[in-house]
Amino acid sequence: RPTHPARRAAVRDADGMAVASFILGLLGLLVLNVFLGPIAIALASVALWRGTTRRGRAFLGLGLGIADLLVLVAFMHFDSTVSWNF
């Protein structure tokens, strides 16, 4: 566990980014995947780089962000649009 106050704050921020990437990646599967997917990927990458203790959430956020973009590409291929929603 980090003992220095600045290090604890940095890890706490990284943990928040990991959770945010997971939530945004999940939301991106439903709406605005063209925006939320890349944001989820970026947040997960930064959280992992900063040493989050929630590595599982960060990896899930990274995977969901990539899935958002894959869903976008699939729907663009099938109905020739830039995004999709319900």
Instruction: Please report the pLDDT score of residue 5 as a whole number.
Output: 74
Q: Please give the chain's pLDDT, 86 residues, in tens.
A: 556 777 777 778 889 999 999 999 999 998 888 899 999 999 999 999 998 999 999 999 999 999 999 998 888 888 776 655 54
pTM of the predicted model as reported, rounded to 2 decimal places: 0.81
Instruction: Please report the pLDDT score of residue 58 as a whole number.
Output: 94
Please provide the DSSP assignment of the chain as one string: ---SHHHHHHHHHHHHHHHHHHHHHHHHTTS-HHHHHHHHHHHHHHHHHTT-S-HHHHHHHHHHHHHHHHHHHHHHHHH--S----
